[in-house]
Amino acid sequence: MLSLAALVDETDPHVLAVCEIDAGDAFALATRFAREWAYRGSQALFWKKPVSAHAVHDIYLPFALQRPFDRRGLLRVDAEDARGAVALFATQFAAERGIAVPELRFARAQMRGAEGRLLAFAQVSRRGIGIQGRGIETLAYDEGGGLRICARGFAAARVERRPYSLIVVCDSQGMPPPQ
């Protein structure tokens, strides 16, 4: 938690996604850095002005009948910023291909149906599985940790890889500078 707080303090991101975090730590991070936030099953999204959320959806990904209690969520925040509608997503896909593929298809359908620009953060433990395609591009991917950041309407000006994290700085087509 201390290294995460130091990272947020150093980079001051407009949007941040964290996986494998409990609700109490997510609340503490949001409070300490004056961020709005949403939480679903060990994943959290944080944002600050100029992003303004108007709906938060915590959706379950499809589950395998042989594992009914192994459920993962898809966290979706419908928001706006100075340039219009933006959708934020965070999820984690299963390691087993037979389970991950239906989850992936469902997540892609949700993302394609979102209005405006889009930022998606995913923990992907299988190689060759990604959420990009049909207008959604990969901005950054950390093969070692399985972290993937994808977008529609954003372009990466810079990508920093750090232990357990990816930092993507968007160009002028992305988030405007802090005000």
Residues 36-76 pLDDT 10s: 999 987 889 999 988 889 999 988 888 777 676 667 889 99
> What percentage of residues in the chain have a pLDDT greater than 90?
25
What total number of domains does the chain contain?
1
Classify residue 141: in a domain, yes or no.
yes
> Has residue 30 got a pLDDT over 60?
yes
DSSP H helical ranges for the chain = 2-11, 23-32, 97-112
Per this entry, what is the length of the chain? 179
Query: Could you read off the pLDDT of 144-166 as tens digits, one per residue?
Result: 777 888 889 888 877 777 766 66
Q: What is the CATH number of the domain that holds 103?
A: 3.60.10.10
| Helix-helix angle 2-11:23-32, to 10 degrees | 30
Q: Which residue has the tokens 């609700």?
A: 23
Q: State the residue range of the domain holding 134.
A: 49-170
Check residue 136 and report its DSSP letter: B
- Whether 40 maps to a domain, the answer reads no
